[in-house]
Amino acid sequence: MDARKDLNFLVVDDFSTMRRIVKNLLHDLGYANVTEADDGNTALPLLKAGSFDFLITDWNMPGMAGLDLLKQVRADERLKKLPVLMLTAEASREQIVAAAQAGVSGYVIKPFTAAVLKEKVEKILAAQPAKAG
């Protein structure tokens, strides 16, 4: 598990308090490399330019929403296998199904607990091949 602590996370949420909370939780889990973005429009260039290993995104954001960001990621040859966890207050059955169809790796509804976030992140990472290099 320690071999994965150098993973690069990108946390996308329009509320800076939520980004800070998620960043803190990831730090507590041992993940120190966390970058923040406030919507899909700022996140996508970072994803395309950087070497992120995990994306945690809100859904409801001004500019590009989380679902559109997810679709863009899945449509990009280099990013299409990136683990994407949706962390959102959007909780209707239709929305969860839509996110699943768009290829989301996990879905956590707000408000959430530290234990739920930890469980989902670790479950998604366990299903991933080890980081190359």
Partner 1 sequence: MAMSEFARRSASYSQLLGAMSEAIARGDEAAFDAAAWILEGELDSPIRSGVRRVAGELQAALDQFGKSSRLVDLAERDVPDARERLAHVLKLTDEAAHRTLDLVEQSQPLADGLARRSEELLNQANRHCSPEGLVDFLKTTATTANDIRARLDEVLMTQGYQDITGQIIRGVMKLVVELEGALADLIQIGGLRPLAGAASAPNGAILHGPIVPGVQHIGPIAAQTEVDALLSGLGM
Q: Does 107 bind partner 1 (CB under 8 A)?
A: yes
SS3 category, 26: helix
Site for partner 1 in 54-83 (CB under 8 A): 59-60, 65
The verdict on 98 binding partner 1 (CB under 8 A) reads no
Smallest separation, CB 10 to partner 1 (Å) = 18
Within 5-24, the residues that bind partner 1 by CB under 8 A are: 13, 15-18, 20-21, 24
Burial label for 14, CB within 10 Å (0-12, 13-18, 19+), is middle
Q: Give just the sign of the alpha carbon dihedral 50, 6, 24, 71.
A: positive
- Type of residue at 11: V
Binding of residue 31 to partner 1 (CB under 8 A): no
Give dist(CA 86, CA 108) in Å, integer.
6
Question: What residue ranges bind partner 1 (CB under 8 A)?
Answer: 13, 15-18, 20-21, 24-25, 28, 59-60, 65, 89-97, 100, 106-114, 116
